Structure 1
Amino acid sequence: MPDDHREQSASDRLVHDPNGGMARLREIMRRLRDPETGCPWDIEQDFASIAPYTIEEAYEVADAIEREAWDELEGELGDLLLQSVYHGQMGEEAGLFTFDSVVKAIADKMVARHPHVFGDESRDKSAEQQTVDWEKIKAAERAGRAEKGVLDGVAAGLPALLRAVKLQKRAARVGFDWPSTAQVLDKIVEEAHELVEARETMTEAETFEEFGDLLFVIANLARHLQVDPEAALRAANAKFIRRFRSIEAALAEQGKRPEDSDLAEMDALWDAAKAAEKAG
């Protein structure tokens, strides 16, 4: 049997082997990206076009965990794993890196950042102390990458609220921070008043900027309160959906839809849904 037919046969066996594990997934991706026999859509993709899907899949994992949808989590984790395999395949094709080198890099990083587990440092430390040590190791890694600025290395592609918190944490480590939560609250009030009072005279660009400033300070409040603003906003979104659906259900019992109602009625139904939740 010619070598190319032998290789194709081995590939087919692996692709259809339910117990093929990671090797099977990587071979599936290789076949999807094959310039001659692969999927036209997959062949056309690059790092930039796949990046939004990577972010989306990460959020779907977080969503399944937040909803405690354990029956969905396995599939969502698989979707996220596929993204790493996808980027690894494209990196290999471009000669940038391989999937194996990606695995080696993260394994090396975990060993280096946990000397109290894999080295000779004592494990007799608190979680807080480990966080401090982790940041020291990360700072040394940044220095090795010639990242000299305090804010260097905070990924631009992070969700804006999360990135704001990370930027503020970096600045706080060198003393650029309000010492108390009260001062952050005062700044929020100040920014909100500026936005409201000047909204009639500000240009669209100025309104945009002032609103961004307000959100940035709110992210700072989240940091001072040790609250994850992304998680808090997701929870608020879920609560809004839940209560609005209660309004829709209550109106449906009357043979009505939201557009057949008015604000006063829907607000009263909202309060009823809120009270029922608290009672429950």
Structure 2
Amino acid sequence: MSGFENLLSVVRALRGENGCPWDKAQTPLSLRRYMIEECFETIDAITQGEPSHVKEELGDLFFNVLLDACIYEENGDFTVDECLGSIAEKLVRRHPHVFPRSEGASEANDDLGRQWDDIKAKVEGRGDECALASVPDGFPPLLKAQKMLSKAAKRGFEWEKIEDVRAKVAEEMREVDDAAKSGDGSAIEEEIGDLLLSVVNWARWLGVDAVSALDRANRKFSGRFGYVESSMRAQKIAMDKSSLGEMMRLWREAKKEGR
């Protein structure tokens, strides 16, 4: 029995007549939070670069996916096999440069991004949908911004050159300053949002994944601040405004040492 078949049999047993009360009580709606948690835990393991941890987290993610699929199978909506078959068919259809004889495949194109979109529009009949309709409402805001900007750009809604993108960031910064002077909290929030969106677009133009970039910055900040905290604790110095100078010195020390 393969690993997949074994896991599938375990999931079905958990949902069976003599299965686990918790697993039997779950629904696709109740499982949403666990799917999100497992996705983030998997991403975290990949970022840490520990294969054994990645293996564990991917396993947890596979379990959640199969549990969801099995529930839909029980409800008569679709089978696990149909679910897997549909994605296999779609991947073959959208990769004519790999599977040139696939049914319904378009002619291979050197521009893989354009080829993917052409197949969606001409073969799958999804070309008339709103460009942003496929961006899930449940996406974290930063990821959602990145996806929306990318999809809008594919429809031609795009700056002509990166200097224009950079100028837009500068413009939004000035508008944040103006809103801050007004003291209007709602206006400040709106302008900060516009600034963040323009920075995400700038990152896209530079070929940088904004989500990964912010995650990297968060980890860097956490490491350096942890060094400051532990150093201050070792020196028995209280962390407050009066010791800001020492905290900044330690921060620069952590930065210099590449922490």
TM class, shorter-length: 0.7 to 0.9
In the alignment, is residue 159 of structure 1 matched against residue 158 of structure 2? no
Percent sequence identity is 38
The separation in 2 between residues aligned to 1:38 and 1:257, in whole angstroms, is 54
In structure 1, the residue matched to 2:59 is 78
Cα shift at 1:20: 5.7
Q: Aligned residue for 1:137?
A: 119
In the alignment, does 2:88 pair up with 1:87?
Answer: no
**For residue 37 of structure 1, what is the aligned residue in structure 2?**
18
Distance 1:29 1:266, change over 3 A: same
Kindly report which structure 2 residues correspond to 1:96-135, keeping only aligned pairs within 5 A, or say none. Answer: 96-120=77-101, 129-135=111-117
Cα displacement (A) at 1:49: 2.3
Q: Which moved more, 1:60-69 or 1:246-255?
A: 246-255
C-alpha deviation, 1:97, in angstroms: 1.4
Q: What is the rounded CA distance, in whole Å, between the counterparts of 2:75 and 2:4 in structure 1? A: 21
Partner of 2:204: 223
Matched AA of 1:23: E
Q: Secondary structure at the match of 1:277?
A: coil
- Aligned residue among 177, 182, 203 for 1:201: 182
1:27 corresponds to 2:9: yes
Q: In structure 1, how many angstroms separate the alpha carbons of the residues matched to 2:153 and 2:184?
A: 32
Amino acid paired to 1:105: S
Q: How far does the alpha carbon of each residue in 1:21-75 deviate from its partner, in whole angstroms, 9 at most, with x for none?
A: 22222222223234x5333332332222212221222222222222211121110
Deviations 1:206-258 (A, max 9, x none): 33322222211111111111100010011001101111121123223323464
Say if 2:70 and 2:79, in contact at 8 Å, map to a contact too: yes
TM superposition shift of 1:173 = 1.9
Q: Report how far residue 125 of structure 1 moved.
A: 7.2
Question: In structure 2, what is the equivalent of residue 13 of structure 1?
Answer: none
Query: 1:147–1:153: 8 Å Cα contact kept in structure 2?
Result: no
- Structure 1: which 5+ residue stretches go unaligned? 1-18
Match of 1:213 in 2: 194
Cross-structure match for 1:53:
34
C-alpha contact (below 8 Å) 1:248/1:257 kept by paired residues? no
Residues 140 and 44 of structure 1: CA distance in aligned 2, closer, same or farther (over 3 Å)? farther
After superposing on structure 2, the runs of 4+ consecutive aligned residues of structure 1 that deviate more than 6 Å are none
In structure 1, how many angstroms separate the alpha carbons of the residues matched to 2:161 and 2:241?
48
Change in Cα spacing, 1:63 to 1:241, as seen in structure 2 (3 Å) is same
Measured in 2, the distance between the counterparts of 1:217 and 1:182 equals 13
SS at match of 2:158: coil
CA gap 1:82/1:147 in 2 versus in 1, 3 angstroms? farther
Deviation at 1:275, TM superposition (A): 1.2
SS in 2 for 1:198: helix
Contact 2:176 2:191 in 1 (8 A): yes
Contact 1:164 1:216 (C-alpha < 8 Å) held by counterparts: yes
List alignment gaps of at least 5 residues for structure 2. Answer: none
Compared CA separation, residues 41 and 169, structure 1 to 2 (3 A): same
- AA partner of residue 152 (structure 2): A
Q: Tell me the distance in 2 between the aligned counterparts of 1:205 and 1:30.
A: 51
Q: TM-score, normalised by structure 2?
A: 0.87
Deviation of 1:124 after TM superposition, in Å, equals: 9.4
Q: Which amino acid aligns with 2:112?
A: Q
8 Å Cα contact 1:111/1:118 also seen in 2 = yes
- Between the two proteins, the alignment pairs up a number of residues equal to 256
